[in-house]
Structure 1
């Protein structure tokens, strides 16, 4: 009975966060099939250590951390040719694929962000993680997380806001 309850709880957990795990994996890998493999491998590792999960309230950050660590393990073994990520792939619904000039500019601006700023921002926006959860996933302090989020948003604002608007807000 205990094993069945554990399995049901695990399946519920994975079902709830599978889309967010895939989007994060896709951002990390920049390849759909590798992202799928990464999520699958991460889920297997999560199952093996599911008993170690103490609080279900931190399960999202726990899964993201497993995925991030598994990516680091795989990346150490395999270094693919880097290609630019088509940020349209990050959307779960076709209706979200915005082709307006503003959306295109945002995608370009996101691609220009350094990874130290982009990763926390995407974990917040795509993954819906809190500052504490992002800090845990990225293995940085909460204050460093908040600083990186602030700087990421500031850099996006600088790139996306017309020069005349920037002058009026100073």
Structure 2
């Protein structure tokens, strides 16, 4: 297929794909690399795309698969340095109304980011695809290559995990609820 046709169809998805990649990787540079690699793979495999099917789900699937096989995938997501955590905790937004409001917003944002980061990757992706990227259950099922029932089940478990207080071991590290 024509690369210009691919560009016309795929480029409007760039911001959405970048946002999802940033949520997955937690790093702007890694997210940019992931999206760039996603577009390169999609362009290369565009002949296999069937016109009339869901391009958005196809692109998300490529991004997700690329993430899982990349250096920033599952293994890298299980580690973080204290310096990175401190830097994230000290980030200050330039737009402020009052110092109190800024502090409250920052605490809320950090709480959400920590809760998402504590989720296992399959739960984090399902929350992001549903709540942030607003994909339908059918689109999520296509992206993850699972039945819709699995999407609903994982989404339910992910939401339950987000509602529960974070349990930690004596070293302060999160405890995986599935091992209890």
Q: Same fold (TM over 0.5)?
A: yes
Tell me, yes or no, if the aligned pair for 1:64 and 1:137 is still in contact at 8 Å: yes
Residue 57 (structure 1) shift: 4.8
- Note the aligned Cα RMSD (angstroms): 3.4
- How far apart, in 1, do the equivalents of 2:29 and 2:146 lie? 29
Q: In the alignment, is residue 142 of structure 1 matched against residue 138 of structure 2?
A: no
Instruction: Give the structure, 1 or 2, with the largest relative contact order (CA under 8 Å, sep 6 or more).
Output: 1
TM-score w.r.t. the length of structure 1 is: 0.70
Counterpart pick for 2:70 among 64, 74, 82: 74
Tell me, yes or no, if the aligned pair for 2:30 and 2:72 is still in contact at 8 Å: no
- How many residues matched? 149
Structure with the larger helix share: 1
Q: What residue in structure 2 maps to residue 10 of structure 1?
A: 6
- How far apart, in 2, do the equivalents of 1:56 and 1:38 lie? 26
Q: Call closer, same or farther: CA 1:120–1:76 in 2, change over 3 Å.
A: closer
TM-score w.r.t. the length of structure 2 is: 0.66
Tell me, yes or no, if the aligned pair for 1:20 and 1:126 is still in contact at 8 Å: no
- How far apart, in 2, do the equivalents of 1:62 and 1:53 lie? 8
Q: What residue in structure 2 maps to residue 62 of structure 1?
A: 58
